[in-house]
Structure 1
Amino acid sequence: MRFPSTHPVRIFQNLPMAPSVKSANKKAKTSNTSVVDEGRIRVLKEGDSSGKGPVIYWMFRDQRSRDNWALIHAVDQARRMDTSVAVAFNLFDQFLGAKARQLGFMLRGLKELEQNLNDLEIPFFLFQGEATDNIPKFLNECNASLLVMDFSPLRDVRQWKDEICMKVSESIAVHEVDAHNVVPMWVASSKLEYSAKTIRSKIHKLLPEYLVDFPTLQTPCRKFTARHPTEIDWEKLISDVLREGAEVPELQWCEPGEKAAMEVLLGSKDGFLTARLKNYYNDRNNPLKPKGLSGLSPYFHFGMISTQRCALEARNFKKMHPQSVDTFLEEMIVRRELADNFCYYQPKYDSLEGAWEWARKTLLDHAADKRDNIYTKEQLEKAETADPLWNASQLEMVHHGKMHGFMRMYWAKKILEWTVDQKKPWQ
């Protein structure tokens, strides 16, 4: 991915160090507010303030027990109300087309997560089917007082949330917490941003407020007794997923879970920050040097590690590798959060109609251009093109589950060149 011409060293150079956990807690106690910044929380539905039922955290995007603002908020609210807390996760029958590779990775991470939560005395409930049915039913059965949700900019998830808010009891409050972005999406900007350039300054101004250390996650003050979790047969569940999605098998090089994610970030042997950061600035766009990349993307995608934690840890290496640190923060914060902004404020984010006008015009102007090669979807999937570089990138995706970021841009542009209908590449 290309970066702005601005020298990366200057981008984050004036960012102050985060306040200590102690000072953050003191501020929260003094102001009598949540330990989570109020800007990170949105109230989707008011409830009955006198309710004493448990707090339920519906987790889906941020699948971790550590450094999770949504979980911190759920436990904090439960302690304030002198009640218990539980985590619910819903597996969809058709998880948006995912196969063994994605689902196996996610489920193995959830298995570790369940144990981590149990160590914190927080029960984990796993449901299968429609979240719009399972979550309201669970809340009503538990006589819950508060539902805490992860944030997602995607259209379907937002529709599910609206439906859940309508289905739950009037007494249940619903809070949405952005634990995925360093600066909450709705705080960073209230409109669709044109580019990284237009959102960068907005995010930078807010980093001193939001790029702070996490408070210690407290143990709930009450044991959850509303319902006993059903024992999860993880081995059978994973086995079923691997069998049904065998056409896209699991990968061996990428170990799932929170522990593995932290090892990739800070491992003594091959951690990104501890062993490979020094070469990131020079090597990140070189496909011949795959170790030049962080390797954190799978963990970001499933929320197994907090980008905020990664940013906090990266700043500890700024004096040694200033260019690499600032470039990493630019990529991980500004560029990632621009993507959330686009998906949230552009309703047609997954279609050609959602592209900027100049892009649509360019495609229209060249729609009738002569194409030397036209390939079918099957030919592209099997890497049967006349371009060895493109074929290598495609095969890397097929067999290794990832593609170098710099090659991904080339890969996508060639698909446009090799198809007649400009709408097909979007599919």
Structure 2
Amino acid sequence: MSPARPWAQHRPPCAGGAVPGRDRDPGTGTPGSGPRDRDRDRDRDHPHPRALGADRRPGWARHGELSTVPFLLAAAPRRATLFQALARAVLRMRRGQGKRKAEARELPRVSRKRKEEEEAVQEARRKAAPSVREFKYNKKRVRLISQGSDLKDDARCILYWMSRDQRVQDNWAFLYAQRLALKQELPLHVCFCLVPKFLDATIRHYGFMLRGLQEVAEECAELNIPFHLLLGYAKDVLPTFVAEHGVGGLVTDFCPLRLPQQWVEDVRERLPEDVPFAQVDAHNIVPCWVASPKQEYSARTIRGKIHAQLPEFLTEFPPVVRHPYPPSHPAEPIAWEACYSSLQVDRTVKEVEWATPGTAAGLAVLQSFITERLKSFGSHRNDPNKAALSNLSPWFHFGQVSTQRAILEVQKHRGKYKESVDAFVEEAVVRRELAENFCYYNENYDSVQGAYNWAQTTLKLHAKDKRPFLYELQELEQGTTHDPLWNAAQLQMVQEGKMHGFLRMYWAKKILEWTRSPEEALRFAIYLNDRYELDGRDPNGYVGKLQDGGMGGRADTPSPCPAGCLWSICGIHDQGWAERAIFGKIRYMNYAGCKRKFDVGQFERRYAPRTLSQ
């Protein structure tokens, strides 16, 4: 076995083993015969300390892995692959250490800033009024559901049945309930009825909701307000709770969808006649039944009505304060994990990591939007590759963050970002409340029968048109169509629980193009949206235009929405366009149009299916 070659003898390959530009004969300039070559031959037979690898590098090169690796690479090219891998690993390690140190330095600053922001919001509430008792509450937000309105003399408490708006502060329903309790000098209780399943909701949705409710329960405890998690449908558990606790008045929040409205009606029928039952629209800025008494045709017809009423309703909230009247029945401890395990929902759709549930996390997202992305919202909200959206739709959907709070905070920056603020108000207020209006006044909000007559007619005329591609639900769900952009959008929704607003339109319109009928297209789109989107089962998912997209101020520019299934497939709140196959007069979108608006390839690469080789 030949002896190992000394470390110093590893040199870059050249003719005759010479080092280019150095191992040349001074007289001839030819490699292999100069004095350095003779020294190299001598060293091979009689290695000395320098040849054996004594470190002759300067001090700056001898300390630390990062300085050693380049020296080794230059001296030992035959081991370059190994050293390069080592270098990359060390660089990653050092970068990671640097990043962690930077994050560690940044955390106190971020925490201080977040605390300052929270204190500023709390101070704004206190300036509005010390408590809701001293606040001039607008009773237009409230409507009486029961026949009677007088509290019974032997009432022992007031109950807020929390349903859609799952937060303590910035909640007009919670505030109204505390107002009643303070006025009557009664304890205040809060309950939430946890149903084992709800439409196509999965563990992704229930997990987000339950963790948010856990935060609500903790905040209620700090305010001397018991929070009760009742397991079962409201009609079965709420009347019993009312009787056992001597509830003198019941308050709940508002949702325009059929099933929640049915829950409210079922409870009303089962309540004792002497228990008044009130409903408060704590989700919309202008209460749905106040904004308009009828179904509005488009954003154009409702925009003026909403803006005319914003000065009356877009006000600062007073605080929910520590309740001075202690309860006679403390809340039972809640076994959150047991509740989580008992749910009868699909657990294959995993929870997401990017969105932390709860009001505190949602308000942090709001502040990050204002400081980092609001400036770009006006110009880049239609580009799926840009970080310009608010990303607030999950917290809005579960009522963990108030839309009104978001508008109050965003409007403070109108002087600096006028275009962006105006666009955000258009989508978070006008478009969102237009969707609420449609679902409230149109019982067919999730079917083709809910579309305008012109849209139903044109879709029917083209229902038998030949489709270029036909896909089954499973193929769509797995993102295995011929269209890489559509697949990427679908996979984004499956993986992250959120699809970019602009692509949600394209996504839904292609389902119309690739399925057997408009009815099947709408059914597939609603199913996929409700199953994977964190903000599924929402008026905006059925029809609306949400804060995560934009109109761009032009009538011919589509408005991204959280699915907007009826907008995309049935033309709700849109106009008729040039007639074409399959779509009829429904607005058309295609791949080429998307390529003109943003870098399609960049988005496709982000969500392309990964193979084992990758």
Common fold, TM-score beyond 0.5? Answer: yes
Out of 262, 269, 272, the residue aligned to residue 369 of structure 2 is 272
Higher RCO, Cα 8 Å, sep 6+: 1
Tell me the SS of whatever aligns to 2:330.
Answer: coil
Kindly tell me the number of residue pairs found equivalent between the two proteins.
398
Name 2:339's counterpart in structure 1.
237
**Structure 1 residue 147 displacement after superposition:** 0.4
**Structure 1 residue 258 displacement after superposition:** 0.6
Distance 1:401 1:393 in 2: 11
Tell me the SS of whatever aligns to 2:256.
Answer: coil
Out of 146, 150, 153, the residue aligned to residue 256 of structure 2 is 153
RMSD over aligned Cα atoms: 1.9
Distance 1:392 1:142 in 2: 52
Structure 1's 110 and 21: CA in aligned 2 closer, same or farther, altered over 3 A? closer
Structure 1's 108 and 29: CA in aligned 2 closer, same or farther, altered over 3 A? closer
Tell me the SS of whatever aligns to 1:423.
Answer: helix
Identity %: 45
- Once the two structures are superposed, residues 359-379 of structure 1 have per-residue CA deviations (whole angstroms, 9 ceiling, x without a partner) of 212211211211110011111
Distance 1:68 1:279 in 2: 29
Distance 1:49 1:422 in 2: 51
Name 2:321's counterpart in structure 1.
218
Structure 1's 244 and 96: CA in aligned 2 closer, same or farther, altered over 3 A? closer
Out of 321, 336, 339, the residue aligned to residue 435 of structure 2 is 339
Is residue 152–residue 275 contact of structure 2 (8 Å, CA) maintained in 1?
Answer: no
**Structure 1 residue 130 displacement after superposition:** 1.3
Name 2:226's counterpart in structure 1.
123
Is residue 126–residue 319 contact of structure 2 (8 Å, CA) maintained in 1?
Answer: no
Distance 1:86 1:415 in 2: 46
Distance 2:126 2:492 in 1: 46
Distance 1:53 1:233 in 2: 26
Tell me the SS of whatever aligns to 1:55.
Answer: strand
Is residue 314–residue 325 contact of structure 1 (8 Å, CA) maintained in 2?
Answer: yes
**Structure 1 residue 24 displacement after superposition:** 5.7
Q: 1:176 corresponds to which letter in structure 2?
A: Q
Distance 2:420 2:319 in 1: 29
Name 1:256's counterpart in structure 2.
357
- TM normalised by structure 2 equals 0.63
Out of 23, 30, 38, the residue aligned to residue 139 of structure 2 is 38
Name 2:587's counterpart in structure 1.
none
Structure 1's 383 and 22: CA in aligned 2 closer, same or farther, altered over 3 A? closer
Out of 383, 394, 398, the residue aligned to residue 494 of structure 2 is 398
Structure 1's 112 and 167: CA in aligned 2 closer, same or farther, altered over 3 A? same
Name 1:328's counterpart in structure 2.
424
Distance 1:395 1:326 in 2: 31
Name 1:351's counterpart in structure 2.
447
**Higher Cα Rg, which structure:** 2
Q: 2:274 corresponds to which letter in structure 1?
A: S
Out of 473, 485, 499, the residue aligned to residue 377 of structure 1 is 473
Out of 66, 76, 86, the residue aligned to residue 189 of structure 2 is 86
Out of 207, 215, 228, the residue aligned to residue 310 of structure 2 is 207
Is residue 161–residue 253 contact of structure 2 (8 Å, CA) maintained in 1?
Answer: yes
Distance 1:123 1:325 in 2: 38
**Structure 1 residue 294 displacement after superposition:** 0.3
Structure 1's 279 and 333: CA in aligned 2 closer, same or farther, altered over 3 A? same
**Structure 1 residue 245 displacement after superposition:** 3.0
Structure 1's 339 and 244: CA in aligned 2 closer, same or farther, altered over 3 A? closer
Out of 283, 287, 295, the residue aligned to residue 391 of structure 2 is 295
- The yes-or-no answer on 1:285 pairing with 2:382 is yes
Structure 1's 221 and 415: CA in aligned 2 closer, same or farther, altered over 3 A? same
- The yes-or-no answer on 1:246 pairing with 2:343 is no
Distance 1:111 1:49 in 2: 31
Q: 2:383 corresponds to which letter in structure 1?
A: N
- Once the two structures are superposed, residues 21-44 of structure 1 have per-residue CA deviations (whole angstroms, 9 ceiling, x without a partner) of 678659x989xxx74211100011
Distance 2:391 2:277 in 1: 35
**Structure 1 residue 265 displacement after superposition:** 0.7
Alignment gaps of 5+ in structure 2: 1-123, 524-614
Q: 1:281 corresponds to which letter in structure 2?
A: G
Is residue 390–residue 411 contact of structure 1 (8 Å, CA) maintained in 2?
Answer: yes
Is residue 416–residue 422 contact of structure 1 (8 Å, CA) maintained in 2?
Answer: yes
Name 2:599's counterpart in structure 1.
none
- TM normalised by structure 1 equals 0.90
- The yes-or-no answer on 1:69 pairing with 2:172 is yes
Is residue 444–residue 450 contact of structure 2 (8 Å, CA) maintained in 1?
Answer: yes
Is residue 136–residue 168 contact of structure 1 (8 Å, CA) maintained in 2?
Answer: yes
Tell me the SS of whatever aligns to 1:93.
Answer: coil
